[in-house]
Amino acid sequence: MRGLIQRVREASVTITGPDGAPIVTGAVGPGLCVLVGITHDDTEVTARKLAAKIWNLRVMDDDAGVMNRSIAETTRAVLIVSQFTLYADTSAGRRPSYVKASRPEHAEPLIDLVVSELRRLGADVSTGRFRTEMQVALVNDGPVTVMLEL
């Protein structure tokens, strides 16, 4: 499981509705935007570990401007967006291969578990929408971007 964590001033996910109008499915103010990729051998244990890591990772500034606090100690705001392309293999040719990315039937319940586990821990979680084309807008704060791999 991979999580690309970005500390943001704001972030949102928009999809196109049936009538062509944009629909915001999730948004946060200051907090974290986390793109989550699932691979074939990921399990519920991996999903819970990723949620705990997101919750406790010290990438938020303290009063002195040092990354010394977690999202649990600050805004509690997290936007989770499923992102199968985190498992792109670009080692050969010009077109990425996605064979390491899990099929939606396996990935979606694990993404849902990351979300529910973060909520159980106390996070205010917003999400994208699985199996849709999404437009993610964000203002990276810092910039701070951290890749987690479990």
User: Would you say residue 150 lies in a domain?
Assistant: no
Q: The domain spanning residue 81 has which CATH number?
A: 3.50.80.10
Q: Residue 6 domain-assigned?
A: yes
Q: Residue 116's pLDDT is what?
A: 98
Distance of CA 30 to the CA centre of its chain: 15
Q: Are 72 and 121 in contact (CB under 8 A)?
A: yes
Catalytic residue (choose from 16, 43, 85, 132): 85
- Tokens 């040719």 correspond to 93
Q: Is 34 exposed, middle or buried (0-12, 13-18, 19+ CB in 10 A)?
A: buried
Tell whether 148 is covered by a domain. no
Q: Write down the pLDDT at residue 67.
A: 97
- Say what the pLDDT of residue 21 is: 96
For 119, the 3-state DSSP assignment is helix
Q: Is 85 a catalytic residue?
A: yes
Quick check: is 7 in a domain? yes
pLDDT given for residue 95 in this prediction: 96
Q: pLDDT tens track of the chain, all 150 residues?
A: 999 999 999 999 999 999 999 999 999 999 999 999 999 999 999 999 999 999 999 999 999 999 999 999 999 999 999 999 999 999 999 999 999 999 999 999 999 999 999 999 999 999 999 989 999 999 999 999 999 999
- Structural domain range at position 35: 2-142
Q: Into how many domains does the chain fold?
A: 1
Domain-embedded: residue 101: yes
Pull the structure tokens for residue 72.
């649990």
For residue 149, is it within any domain? no
Integer Cα distance of 32 and 125 in angstroms? 10
- Residue 33 to residue 38: CA distance in whole angstroms: 16
Which residue is catalytic, options 6, 14, 39, 84? 84
- The catalytic position among 14, 39, 83, 127 is 83
Does 84 participate in catalysis according to the annotation? yes
Confidence at residue 99, expressed as pLDDT on a 0 to 100 scale: 96
CB atoms < 10 A from the CB of 3, how many?
23
